[in-house]
Structure 1
Amino acid sequence: MCRCPWLDQSKADYVAYHDEEWGVPVFDDRKLFEYLTLEAAQAGLSWYTVLKKRLNYRLAFAGFDPVQVAMFDEAKIQSLLQNPGIIRNQLKVRAAVNNAARFLEVQQEFGSFARYQWQFVNGQPLLNQRQQLSDYPARTDISDAFSKDLQRRGFKFVGSTIIYAHMQACGMVNDHSLDCFRRDQIIAGYRDLPALDTL
């Protein structure tokens, strides 16, 4: 069974993530906050490093409920910095708390974070033509624009490379390679995508 060239198929949990989640369009705000938080934590590290700590992050960050995370106080932040189950980088932990508050502001303005996020691709996933590892960009013009707008709104650890990884993960772009079995499966689901104005 063919899969994307970036995937280390010797890691069963990595394969499961690729086969079940990566590139599937996400419109649930809590899930989008989860991805955004984990991708910010990934900065300078491999995605697999973060993936292995994902359950610990869910426990530490209140199931990725942005309302709860936005209320984390200094004592809670210090507690998180002692938690060996997550990446104990002070800037990243503080960014997650900050980003939760900014996330809620976007929800207030747009009705949902999904509506805000998906406007950058007009509500429709971009279908790319990737064949080999060298075909995958680190960032694009759209991730540049999305990143710049998030930074303008006060989000942290949302550079264009991080945001392109976010776009790939939550299906704003379909970057499964042309020979990957998941590419066409995900495309088949596009007929059921919600309209942007209903998000």
Structure 2
Amino acid sequence: MPVRCAWAGDDELYIRYHDREWGIPVYDDNRLFEMLILEGMQAGLSWITVLRKRDHFRKVFDGFDALKISQYDEKKIEELVNDPGIIRNRLKIRAAIQNAGCFLEIQQTHGSFSRFIWQFVDGEPRQNAWRSLPEVPAKTAESDRMSRELKKRGFKFVGSTICYAFMQAVGMVNDHVVDCFRYEEIKSGLNQSGRR
């Protein structure tokens, strides 16, 4: 039985997410956008709640196509608010639409969102070495900076704690605890199947 980060618990969906996704560096703009929106949706809730709804989110949010989302109108907002398959928070839904427009602007000005967002760790994943879950910070100077920059560009639901959770999820930081079997794999650049 491999040792995992304690937060993965015993839920199969959580374990799969921990083992196959969390902490693997992501450079694809569409996936980065999806994670930024989902982390914002999580505010005040548990991540497992979002994970359980993620497939339906993808369906009703047009595969997290930022261009399509940026054009959502009031009718679409009402549809989303009334969809029990997602988190039906009007403010978060409106924020996702606004964030889509801001995301597209960054793509235009920086060539890609990936190039912009990875600058907060100088383009390289940070390799931390936490021994236990309580040591892992909720935010850092880098996430503070990212939050400030995103807010300056009009993004919503991008506080420093949300930004740090995003950084952890997309592998900008390796926050698997050192005893976790994924820690060394991620550190050495191995993906979920054990291949570089």
Which residue of structure 2 lines up, in the alignment, with residue 133 of structure 1? 133
Paired amino acid for 1:177: V
Which residue of structure 2 lines up, in the alignment, with residue 193 of structure 1? none
Aligned residues: 189
Residues in 2 aligned to 1:54 and 1:183: alpha-carbon distance in whole angstroms:
25
Residues in 2 aligned to 1:163 and 1:31: alpha-carbon distance in whole angstroms:
15
Which residue of structure 2 lines up, in the alignment, with residue 149 of structure 1? 149
The Cα shift of 1:120 comes to 0.6
Whether 1:2 aligns to 2:6 is no
The Cα shift of 1:189 comes to 1.5
TM-score by length of 1: 0.93
1:1-199 equivalence runs, <5 A:
1-8=2-9, 10-189=10-189
Residues in 1 aligned to 2:51 and 2:189: alpha-carbon distance in whole angstroms:
25
Find runs of 4+ consecutive structure 1 residues off by over 6 angstroms. Answer: none
Paired amino acid for 2:57: Y
The Cα shift of 1:85 comes to 0.3
Deviations 1:100-151 (A, max 9, x none): 0000000001000000000111100001111112111110000000000000
Residues in 2 aligned to 1:16 and 1:7: alpha-carbon distance in whole angstroms:
9
Residues in 2 aligned to 1:53 and 1:131: alpha-carbon distance in whole angstroms:
31
TM-score by length of 2: 0.95
Paired amino acid for 1:173: V
Residues in 2 aligned to 1:50 and 1:183: alpha-carbon distance in whole angstroms:
24
Paired amino acid for 2:137: P
Which residue of structure 2 lines up, in the alignment, with residue 195 of structure 1? none
Residues in 2 aligned to 1:15 and 1:142: alpha-carbon distance in whole angstroms:
27
Residues in 1 aligned to 2:103 and 2:180: alpha-carbon distance in whole angstroms:
33
Structure 2's unaligned 5+ residue stretches are 191-196
Paired amino acid for 2:5: C
The Cα shift of 1:188 comes to 1.8
The Cα shift of 1:186 comes to 1.2
Corresponding residue SS for 2:109? helix
Residues in 1 aligned to 2:187 and 2:132: alpha-carbon distance in whole angstroms:
20
Corresponding residue SS for 2:27? coil
Superposed CA RMSD in Å reads: 0.8
Which residue of structure 2 lines up, in the alignment, with residue 194 of structure 1? none
The Cα shift of 1:5 comes to 2.0
Corresponding residue SS for 1:6? helix
